[in-house]
Structure 1
Amino acid sequence: MRLLMLGGTEFVGRAVTEAALACGWEVTVFHRGRHAAPPGATVLRGDRTAPGGLAALEHGAWDAVVDTWSGAPAAVRDAAQLLADRARSYVYVSTRSVYTYPARAGLAEDGPVVEASPDSVDDTDYAQAKRGGELAALAAFGDRALLARAGLILGPYENVGRLPWWLTRIARGGPVLAPGPRDLPLQYIDARDLATWLLDAAERGLGGPYNLVSPPGHTTMGELLETCVRTTAADADADADLCWTTPERILAADIAPWTDLPIWLPPGELYDTLHAADVSKAVAAGLRCRPVGETVADTWAWLRGLGGQAPRRPDRPAVGLTPEKETEVLAVQRQRQ
């Protein structure tokens, strides 16, 4: 298989590139040159947002294109139109955020989606930008377009900082504010499992939308954080003590779910939207998700290799609760006990 990876040097794109190379595929990476591509890939340079920025793609043919773009849809439109006659399929890594909010628990791929335009040059609304990207891929490739609607993505190379924040916080030890309930089910996908599924689907010529996260309850908040404790124990500054706290107390303390406490959402509409998707279509098409312990251990090993400092996308805000706020909330909790 000949793969054209648009991006391919960070997180999901890098996972796809490395997986394809490991399968013996011929991989071409098209990127701006800000980060090194994985060894073994052919590199083409260009900035798809600049005039003439796609010139490097004007020649060549590929079996599949994978595009992780999350900016203005017009960039997907231009790339997809340019490649429509020279690529067999176009895999666009989208998001479950394209569904109109709130998305009910158990929503499948036929759920209602936001209004968007494939010609938009606006990227301020993430859901509309991704839906516009989907429409651009569909306009150029039709049923040869695969729309991978991912949810929460974790694993090595994560450049948003959600799992890295929990790992580094727990490695510092001491009392840790743990958001409950402890048995709260979580849905996410390891970037490497996403990559494996995408490549298999591209090789098989699948098209249309697929929800791509783990089955509901693949892990729980308790299992995730307790796995972080065990994984970091040998390198921790002190023993970590998970202090489980009810959603009501966390919200009353003006702590923001998802950002101050990454991954976690209290039960409710937003939780149902992000952690309760129907993924039966993807599972039937071969989706397999590795155990949470493997994702945590490999992310920690990668993080330690970087000296504990994870990279962060400049277009995403920093995540994580400040030590001062955590100490304050835990102190109040101890007084009430």
Structure 2
Amino acid sequence: MRLLVLGGTEFVGRAVVEAALGRGWEVTVLHRGRHPAPPGARPLRGDRTGPDGLAALADGGGWDAVVDTWAGAPRAVRDAARLLRGRAGRYVYVSSRSVYAWAPPAGHTEDAPLVEGASADAERLDYARDKRGGELAAVDAFGADRSVLVRAGLILGPYENVGRLPWWLGRMARGGPVLAPGPRDLPLQYVDVRDLADWVLGAVTRGLSGPYTLVSPRGHATTGTLLDACARVTGGAAELRWTAPEVITGAGIEPWTGLPVWVPPGGEMHDALHGADVSRALAAGLVCRPVADTVADTWDWLLSLDGVTPLRPDRPAVGLDPETEARVLGIAGAPEV
């Protein structure tokens, strides 16, 4: 198989490239040169945001599929998809669950209402409408039968450049009492980036099309299994102090960002972020590895970086400062769960 990856040097794109190379595919990567392309891929240089940013593709031949992870102005997806529609068999756009109108209820499927106001021709608007605009651009150029819309949720694993799982691992490595947001049996939904990559390549070989919500089944992991794995793999020096959700939110700690991944149970935010019906993706071949493997492999990757964790500059910082954590842990009578 011949694969073109637009990007391909960081997180999701890199995982797709490495998975394809592992299958013996011929992989071309168009990137800006900020990071080296994975060994074995054919590198092409180009900045999609600048004039003639796709010029390197002019003589690039043809491909069985294109994988695009773009998260900026939809016009970049539009331009690439239009250029490639006669030279590639399928266009896989890695989108986001953010394209569902807020807040999708627990059990929502790919048929849930979508955000309004998106356009394939738009300049940058906001994350949700940018991703939906990218979807529209892919479908407009390749048609519904040759485009795959991968509506990924929370993505974890090696190469993560948002900082969620790396923050938890770094915090556990420091040891001592750790503010652990309860309840520990709260179900989570996420996808290991390598499982996402494997599914994408399977979608190409099987000729799939249409939208797929891509996260693990509800309850594949819980807050407890995730944080226990983090504590264990970093050496066991951390002492998890399970604390009731109302204590955490009452202290002004923001769910999802202050304590990454976690949102309190029983509300629309948890239903939206950790309550999707993923039966369509499972039927189409999604296989999710154990959370312990995701955590251990991410920790091994972090150890290889000599303390310098790559973070995207266009994403907000995540994690809790030590002073706030100590203050909440010191609240007299804080109930444990």
**TM-score, shorter chain, exceeding 0.5:** yes
How many equivalent residue pairs? 332
Which residue type is aligned with residue 205 of structure 2? E
Instruction: Tell me, yes or no, if the aligned pair for 2:243 and 2:335 is still in contact at 8 Å.
Output: no
Distance 2:35 2:68 in 1: 17
Partner of 1:66: 67
Is the contact between residue 199 and residue 286 of structure 2 (CA under 8 Å) also seen in structure 1? yes
Query: Mean alpha-carbon deviation: is it higher for 189-198 or for 53-62?
Result: 53-62
* Structure 1 residue 11 corresponds to structure 2 residue 11: yes
Query: Is the CA contact 1:168–1:308 (under 8 Å) kept in the aligned structure 2?
Result: no
TM-superposed CA distance for 1:203, in Å, is 1.3
Give the AA of the match of 1:321: L
3-state SS of 1:100 partner: coil
For 1:5 and 1:223, the matched residues in 2 are separated by 34
Q: Which residue of 2 aligns with 1:41?
A: 41
Match in the other structure for 1:50: 50
1:222 aligns with 2:224: yes
Measure the CA separation in 2 of the matches of 1:336 and 1:102. 30
**Residue in 2 aligned with 1:245?**
243
Matched to 1:66, the amino acid is V
Tell me how far apart the structure 1 counterparts of residues 335 and 270 of structure 2 sit (CA, whole Å). 28
Whether the aligned pair in 2 keeps the contact of 1:6 and 1:66 (CA below 8 Å) is: yes
Q: 1:174 to 1:82 in 2, by over 3 A?
A: same
User: d(CA) in 1 for partners of 2:246 and 2:306?
Assistant: 36
Amino acid at match of 2:20: A
User: Which residue of 185, 188, 198 corresponds with 2:187?
Assistant: 185
**2-structure distance, mates of 1:333, 1:257:** 22
Using the aligned pairs only, state the percent identity: 69
Tell me how far 1:224 sits from its aligned partner.
0.5
User: What is the match of residue 257 of structure 1?
Assistant: 255
Give the deviation of 1:270 after TM superposition: 1.0
2:196 is aligned to 194
Q: Which residue of 2 aligns with 1:80?
A: 81
**Native 8 Å contact 2:7 2:30 kept in 1:** yes
Whether contact under 8 Å (2:175, 2:239) holds in the other structure is: yes
User: What amino acid is the match of 1:176?
Assistant: V
The alignment partner of 2:242 has SS state of strand
For 1:162 and 1:310, how far apart are their aligned partners in 2? 11
Could you list the structure 1 runs, at least 4 aligned residues long, displaced by more than 3 angstroms after superposition. Answer: 333-337
Q: Which has the higher helix share?
A: 1
Partner of 2:23: 23
Secondary structure of 2:199's aligned partner: helix
CA distance in 2, matches of 1:65, 1:314: 26
Is contact 2:54–2:80 with CA below 8 Å preserved after alignment?
A: yes
- 1:333: how far off? 4.3
Counterparts of 2:133 and 2:44, CA distance in 1: 25
In the alignment, residue 324 of structure 2 is paired with which amino acid?
K
1:128 aligns with 2:129: yes
Aligned partner of 1:90 in structure 2 is 91
Report Cα offsets for 1:202-252 as digits up to 9, x if no partner: 11111100010000000000111011111111xx6xx21101111101010
* Structure 1, 308-317 or 127-136: larger mean CA deviation: 308-317
Match in the other structure for 2:264: 266
Check conservation: 1:114, 1:127, Cα contact below 8 A: yes
Q: How far off its partner does 1:133 sit?
A: 0.2
- Cα deviation for residue 336 of structure 1 reads 7.4
- 1:64 touches 1:87 (CA, 8 Å); kept in 2? yes
Q: 2:177 aligns with which of 175, 178, 188?
A: 175
Once the 2 structures are TM-superposed, how far is the Cα of residue 335 of structure 1 from its aligned partner? 7.1
Change (3 A) 1:28 1:129: same
Displacement, 1:334?
Answer: 5.5
Task: Give the letter for the 1:225 counterpart.
Answer: L
Measured after TM superposition, the shift of residue 308 of structure 1 is 3.3
Q: Could you tell me which residue of structure 2 aligns to residue 208 of structure 1?
A: 210
Does the 8 Å CA contact 2:110/2:212 hold for their aligned counterparts? Answer: yes
What are the Cα deviations for residues 172-208 of structure 1, in whole angstroms up to 9, with x where unaligned? 0000000011100000000000000000101111110
| Residue 168 of structure 2, aligned match among 166, 169, 172 | 166
Structure 2 counterpart of 1:141, one-letter code? F
Supply the distance in 2 between the matched residues of 1:327 and 1:72 (Cα, whole angstroms). Answer: 41
1:307 Cα offset (Å): 2.1
Match of 1:110 in 2: 111
Gap regions ≥5 residues in structure 1: none
Q: Is the 8 A contact 1:185 1:275 kept in 2?
A: yes
| SS of residue in 2 equivalent to 1:88 | coil
The verdict on how the C-alpha distance between 1:324 and 1:208 changes in structure 2, with shifts beyond 3 A counting, is same
